[in-house]
């Protein structure tokens, strides 16, 4: 028996939409990071981009607990002497809600070029509208076609459908 090795031509990507409204930031970020890495698939390989595209909507309505709105600080540096800038979470959510989720997910991805590539598969929007509806719907249609083809193949093989199997055994 040989070990199965995933090839780049065998990778199928799907699109997932996650609503951030009233979801804790860390739990949402860990779910998104797992989808981006491809850990939800049986063909997961740590060194390959086997993940999916993820669209996060309503990023401005993400939930945080405790006093994080005032106490959590995001730092950046301008590159000039004395150029350290601080931004609290509440101001960051007002101005750039997408950056809050991207920053949380980025910390959960590998810190190398694979992580940078995976982060490009993340699309975050502050409101409920996003321009990726065509990609999401195309993936769903493809999954339905594959399921229909599989059921047609099962019927042609002489096996009764799954719902009839349960009725006969009952």
Q: Give the domain CATH number at 53.
A: 3.90.1180.10
pTM for the full predicted model: 0.82
The greatest distance separating any two alpha carbons of the chain, rounded to the nearest whole angstrom, comes to 77
pLDDT of amino acid 103: 97
Residue 140 lies in a domain: yes
Q: What is the arithmetic mean of pLDDT over 14-23?
A: 95
Structural domains of the chain, count: 1
Residue 40 lies in a domain: yes
What residues contact residue 67 under an 8 Å CB cut-off, 6+ apart?
none
pLDDT of amino acid 87: 96
Residue 130 lies in a domain: yes
What residues contact residue 135 under an 8 Å CB cut-off, 6+ apart?
15, 53
Residue 54 lies in a domain: yes
Which sign, positive or negative, has the C-alpha torsion 39, 40, 43, 48? negative
Q: What is the arithmetic mean of pLDDT over 42-57?
A: 93
Is the pLDDT assigned to residue 69 strictly greater than 90? yes
pLDDT of amino acid 141: 86
pLDDT of amino acid 34: 97
pLDDT of amino acid 6: 86
Is the pLDDT assigned to residue 166 strictly greater than 70? no
User: Looking at per-residue confidence, does 25 or 161 come out higher?
Assistant: 25
39 token code pair: 């850990």
The residue segments making up the domain with residue 20 are 13-64+96-158
The DSSP secondary-structure symbol of 108 reads: T
């Amino acid at each position: 028996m040989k070990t199965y090795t995933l090839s780049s031509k065998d990778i199928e990507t799907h699109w997932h939409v996650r609503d951030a409204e009233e979801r804790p930031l860390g739990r949402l970020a860990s779910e998104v990071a797992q989808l981006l890495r491809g850990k939800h698939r049986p063909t997961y390989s740590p060194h390959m981009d086997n993940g999916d595209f993820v669209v996060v909507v309503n990023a401005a309505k993400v939930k945080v607990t405790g006093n994080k709105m005032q106490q959590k600080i995001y730092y950046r540096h301008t590159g000039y002497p004395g150029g350290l800038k601080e931004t609290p979470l509440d101001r960051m959510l007002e101005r750039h809600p997408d950056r809050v989720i991207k920053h949380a997910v980025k910390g959960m991805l590998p810190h190398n070029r694979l992580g940078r590539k995976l982060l490009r598969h993340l699309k975050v929007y502050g409101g409920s509208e996003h321009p990726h509806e065509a990609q999401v719907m195309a993936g769903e249609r493809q999954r339905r076609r594959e399921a229909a083809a599989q059921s047609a193949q099962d019927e042609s093989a002489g096996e009764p459908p799954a719902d009839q199997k349960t009725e006969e055994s009952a």
